Amino acid sequence: MDATEPTAPPDIPYARLGALMTRLHVHGLTTVLQRRSLIVINGKGDGADDPAQPSDTLTCGPREDDAGRLWFFSAWGNPIAEADDIIGAAVALTGKLQV
């Protein structure tokens, strides 16, 4: 992307992460919204027998191979869903985090 192409104002990715956070609460996931990321935790582990809690830290930013549209990305930089597809992103994350 060059300097002449429009970019999303910084509050739009934050708003998309906030919308996803709200949707993930419906699925019982614990979230922590930060200015540039959303931490998602499946706190439904088996307690002492399974102390590991599956989690991911999501970001929202332009996807270069999709004309710079905003997408949600995993902590590893893998695309999850277009940022306007809150339900699709929630479905993908609940599957990944075994909700």
> What are the pLDDT digits (tens) for 25-76?
999 999 999 999 999 999 776 554 555 679 999 999 999 999 999 999 999 9
Each domain of the chain, given as residue ranges in start order, spans: 16-44+54-96
- Least Cα distance to 77 among 67, 96, 62 occurs for 62
pLDDT digits (tens, 9 = 90+) for 4-18: 445 667 689 999 999
Q: What order do you get walking across the sheet with 30-33 strand by strand?
A: 30-33, 38-41, 55-63, 69-73, 79-82
pTM: 0.83
CA distance 23 to 17: 10
